Structure 1
């Protein structure tokens, strides 16, 4: 079956669905130029991951973590939402989108036009910071200013707690409320579309299986094969923006 025929199958499934979950991984962001964490040359091949307990206990580690976050945030700022992001926004406009569940931390879904209510960020967001004690949000610009002024990692103005990028570090607990909402949505959807995820990181990779067990169709669009391809109703190994482009024309 040629690409256009497979693309038509995807569009027909979308048009027949009313409660669509779109589950996104690094693949949708790399098409916007955001560096991939795991692939060769990615961030985790350049830097040893920073554990949460080390961040909390060591000023030196906190300063190194912030140095990396500023570098990564500069990369995020250069990136623009691509056709894959814009196609999902079109689903929102059509009232077919139940939710986007994302493993990404770059904020590109919100920048593309999705409402905050329609996005669940399983691994947090690396474009702003929060206080680890009182959860007050801070811009990265404010955190950078604090570091420049005090020559120390930034602290909260309200309670004096540690400020940290609002992303989940290794060893840090996944956000329970976000995961529970994602599981509920997976049970409620009638079409679960995976876009650009290797489906190797758990518990997030369990969500397509939950959707499938509860009667949803499972479509996987990814550059490479995934461990869950055998469960899918449809698999397309192709670029996401190209695959979804008919939704935005």
Structure 2
């Protein structure tokens, strides 16, 4: 596809920047990752049962433990860090930005990214949903009920089992959200994969889709990923310093 260069009196055209983020972007906010060297799944393999759909639905004790885990989750105390703020700053600069996140913490939105520009592949921890009638309500309200003595609060609408509005192991991703993310990956001219091991499918495949459709793929992650060889640039520096510098450069030189 041939692109027409802007005339001298026109500002340079700003490319669509897609940013796929994983747990690594939120570790500076005090939220531990899952699969890194010190990740939760490596430290406590049993913890994975708490977010596995069949185990959660079939065992009341698993649900009670899950609610206790949510009460203690650092996600509700966490604040956006320099990396989240840099993403929001890039969007405010006039650059077309879409965030595709594997995280459920809502920190991109709290940093100032418009909700409509954030695709939450794995849902959000800030809402709960009924597994029977699909009514949604706030996690804050559900946790208040747990604190008041309900160890496994039921849906107030139909009495069904409540769960976090996140995608548990054994559940499918929302096909509409995934389809929109796929469209963004195909349209992006710059695609950043930040703080993700790129091992969880189908989210990880978005990096490959973007590269196949001509995007400049940049990977910012502490550990190697299966997509490193497709990347135009791989950055191993700490995300909190590397990403703001990288995004500032994109804002200043949008056509690069």
TM-score when scaled to structure 1? 0.85
Separation of aligned partners in 1, 2:213 and 2:198: 19
Aligned equivalent of 1:55: 56
Deviation at 1:186, TM superposition (A): 0.5
Aligned-CA RMSD value: 2.1
Question: Within the alignment, does 1:140 sit opposite 2:123 as a pair?
Answer: no
* Unmatched 5+ stretches in structure 2: 1-11
Name the residue aligned to 2:3.
none
The answer (yes or no) to whether the contact 2:125–2:139 under 8 Å persists in 1 is no
Q: Per residue, is there more helix in 1 or in 2?
A: 1
Deviation at 1:150, TM superposition (A): 6.1
Unaligned runs of 5+ in 1: 1-14
1:66 equivalent in structure 2: 67
Match of 1:19?
Answer: 16
3-state SS in 2 of match to 1:204 = coil
Kindly indicate whether the alpha-carbon contact (under 8 Å) linking 1:98 and 1:189 is maintained by their aligned counterparts in 2.
no
Q: Give the distance between the partners of 2:184 and 2:141, measured in 1 at CA.
A: 35
Report 1:146-165 matches (<5 A): 146-148=145-147, 151-165=150-164
CA distance, structure 2, for counterparts of residue 100 and residue 156 of structure 1: 31
The 5-angstrom pairing of residues 74-93 of structure 1 reads 75-93=74-92
CA drift of 1:118 comes to 0.9
Residue 126 of structure 2: aligned partner: 127
Runs of 4 or more consecutive aligned structure 1 residues displaced over 4 Å after TM superposition? none
Residues 192/82 of structure 1: CA separation in 2 closer, same or farther (3 Å cut): same
Aligned residues: 233
Deviation (angstroms), 1:187: 0.7
SS in 1 for 2:69: helix
TM-score normalised over the length of structure 2: 0.83
Give the match's secondary structure for 2:204: helix
Q: Structure 1 residues 99-108 or 75-84, which shifts more?
A: 75-84
